[in-house]
Amino acid sequence: MKVLTVVSHPRLNSLTFSVAARFTQGLADAGHETEILDLHRIGFNPVLWEADEPDWSTDQKIYSPEVQREMERMQHFDGLAYIFPVWWYSLPAMLKGYIDRVWNNGFAYGSRKLHHKQVLWLGLAADSKEHMAKRQYEQMMNQQLNVAIASYCGISNSKVELLYNTLDSTPETHDKILSQAYQLGLYYENK
């Protein structure tokens, strides 16, 4: 399977990018092809302007060159993976803006839906699993990402995986997080 791996973090030396490296190594070891799309390094603009606002009167809208380029990139892949820090119990603004602009009317929803077989939302949460569960944040993210976004756009095989306690810098926690990321890549198709 060809998997587009989209990473959203401002720092290359972040745990998010270490997780992305281990995840894509797992994909490669399982025989998948992947491309890493680093939203910050390509200078993606997350702000939706008029050129990319959905036009409800037609599904044939021509979007901005930046968005057209990303739509074309997505078309070359069978699967998607998004790797990001969980900020305010949601996606970072950069990734939310990418979804707003690229997963657009006539491409991802409306008369056409996305063709991708599956999507993995891999979030790095500073909180513990227990704290996230206590306030139902994980359930909220599952509903938003799996149902309100992926299913609405035609991807029924959507999964949110959260890596917890990411601010814990002990070697044991760090190694556990990277091992989980590798396993998610290795067994991507079985998720």
Query: Taking the mean position of all CA atoms in its chain, how far away is CA 131?
Result: 23
User: What is residue 98's predicted lDDT score, i.e. its pLDDT?
Assistant: 98
Ranges in the chain, pLDDT < 70 = 191
User: What is residue 58's predicted lDDT score, i.e. its pLDDT?
Assistant: 86
| Cα separation, 176 vs 183, whole angstroms | 11
Q: Return the HEC string of 16-43.
A: HHHHHHHHHHHHHHCCCEEEEEECCCCC
Model pLDDT for residues 140-177, shown as the tens digit of each residue? 999 999 999 999 999 999 999 999 999 998 999 999 99
Expressed as residue numbers, the domain containing 166 is: 2-190
Strand order in the sheet with 79-85: 33-38, 2-7, 79-85, 118-124, 158-163
- Tally of domains in the chain: 1
Q: What is the CATH number of the domain that holds 31?
A: 3.40.50.360
